[in-house]
Structures are given as structure tokens and as C-alpha cells.
Amino acid sequence: MRRAKQLMAAIRTNYGLVMDPDKNPLWNIHPAQRFQVMAYLSVMWTTIFCTAFGAWYWYGELILAHMLVILGIAMTGLTFAQASRPTPEPLPIRPADQRR
């Protein structure tokens, strides 16, 4: 029973590191952009799993499913790596009459 509790705690921690916007590397971007990126990632993962289960049903091969999961992990990792990089402060916007 103790082992099951440890496993559940580890699952909650790892789930939070990916799904909680205050803990994952997307925490430093604007909330609207963070929501948009998370929505895109969720659509990507939904497509991967639907395609994987469809491939299993039609072909009986797991290679496509494994490649999709690996691609999804890579895309998520690249997205989080890009989001965790420090970004320079944006330049101030000048009024139209001061632009060249």
C-alpha cells in the first residue's frame, strides 16, 4: 500500500510539471499565449493518440504509434525548451507621428 501511495505521489508530481501552467516552462509567457500553446499541444497529443489507436485497429503495427509518441515528446520538449529561454524586453512602441 505504501508503494502505491508513492507511485500516486510521483504521478501527481510529474503530471503537475507538464500540465500545471505555474510549474511548467510556459509559466513566464502571457496567460493568453500560454493557453494557446497548451491548446495546440493538447490537439497534437489527441491527434497522436487517435492516430495511434486507429493504426492499431487497421494495421496491427505499433511502429507508427511509437513514432508518433516520440514525435509528440520531441515537440513538447522543444516547445518547453523554447519557452524557458529568456526573452529580451520588447521595444517600446512609438507614436505614429514619431515613426520614420
Contact 60, 52 (CB under 8 A): no
Q: How far is CA 6 from CA 1, 3, 14, 15, 18, in A?
A: 9, 5, 12, 14, 19
Q: Give tens-digit pLDDT for 29-83.
A: 888 888 898 899 889 988 888 887 776 666 656 677 788 889 999 999 899 888 8
DSSP secondary structure, 13-82, as one string: HHHHHHH-TTTSGGGGS-HHHHHHHHHHHHHHHHHHHHHHHHHHHHT--SHHHHHHHHHHHHHHHHHHHH
Q: Give tens-digit pLDDT for 85-95.
A: 877 776 677 66
Q: Quote the pTM value.
A: 0.53
Nearest to 52 by CA among 44, 75, 39, 18: 44
